[in-house]
Amino acid sequence: MMDTFGKTDLATTKIVYGCMGGAGAFGPQEERDSIEALRAAHEVGINFFDTAEVYGNGYSEQLLRAALGGQRKEIVISSKVAGKHLAPADVMTACEGSLKNLGTDYIDLYMLHWPNRDVPLEDSIGALQRLKEQGKIRWYGVSNFGREDLTEALALGDIAVDQLPYHLFFRAIEHEVQPICEAAEVPIMCYSSLMQGLLAGKYRKLDDFPVERARTRMFDHRKWPEATHSEHGAEDAGQELLNALWRMVEETGISMEELAIGWLKSRPAVGGVIVGTRNGAQSRGLGKLLDITLAPEILTALDEASDRLKHELGTDIDMWGKGRTR
């Protein structure tokens, strides 16, 4: 099932295939597995694929070309220009590089990946508008833009998306950003939707979570060496949520992955939920997520179970606590 993505003319599935992992972001990855994963995701019905120039320094885009270049007219591609490339000339150059990597003459949705405080936002969005006028991109938007940055961007151009970290363990965008998106009819594309696997039903305790993935603001920096922020985290609230999720899995028979994705699909302004895989078998399992719809009482229970953690983590939408958003 496809919907029109926000104010655009793009017909997209609510599940978006995330291409970052295929380029090795989560560990060693065989190219044949990445290509099979992309093809299998398309075969189960996903038509929306999200990548970026920084994923493998263009390798992710090249993999998408190798896997689905022959089906270009059947898929919607979103890509992102790196925050360090937001000067107008650099935006134009980066887009040309992505077009070459993807083997296409247009990108459906092109985003500023992170804010850049050294380049006026007006200049960056002006470059996106020129790319749109040239037909090299169909629509443009932003990623990781908080309340102030998004408000400024909306005044400068026709913003078609804000790609943001959003899941049951991180609801910071709900305080300030989600209401802006809803009012402006700007769809949210959720990334990290399964919290690096924590919401995939593999772990009973936060202490069992792989140390290299325990980097978000929920984790106490004094305990986890990969956490580069300076916060004490909210691990008690996080474990409380994890316990509640396991109880719901056992009571309802619905998998944790389906609970997590079904909840996101129901949220205000959400237009796409990014999910990635490592191989074809995992991608074939994504089909069930296209159709998952949760009953109102389950959605309410998920809201209540995650409410304490939401409020303890507060309004900072930078999930890693690096002070990059405002």
Residue ranges per structural domain of the chain:
2-197+257-292
CATH 3.40.50.2300 assigned to 2-197+257-292 = no
**What pLDDT was estimated at residue 241?**
98
- pLDDT over 90 (residue 61): yes
Identify the helix (H) or strand (E) that includes residue 275: strand 270-275
Q: What is the mean pLDDT of residues 194-223?
A: 96
- pLDDT over 90 (residue 236): yes
**What pLDDT was estimated at residue 28?**
86
What value does the mean pLDDT of the chain take? 97
**What pLDDT was estimated at residue 27?**
82
- pLDDT over 90 (residue 23): no
With a CB cutoff of 8 Å and minimum separation 6, the contacts of 201 are 249, 255, 256, 257
Whether 106 is a known active-site residue: answer: no
Confidence class for position 24, pLDDT limits 50, 70, 90: confident
- pLDDT over 90 (residue 213): yes
Nearest to 38 by CA among 270, 312, 286, 316: 286
**What pLDDT was estimated at residue 304?**
98
pLDDT single digits (tens) 263-280: 999 999 999 999 999 999
Name the catalytic one among 17, 55, 110, 140.
Answer: 55
Q: Is the CB of residue 276 less than 8 Å from the CB of residue 282?
A: no
- pLDDT over 90 (residue 98): yes
Q: Is the CB of residue 306 less than 8 Å from the CB of residue 82?
A: no
For the chain, give the percent of residues with pLDDT over 70: 100
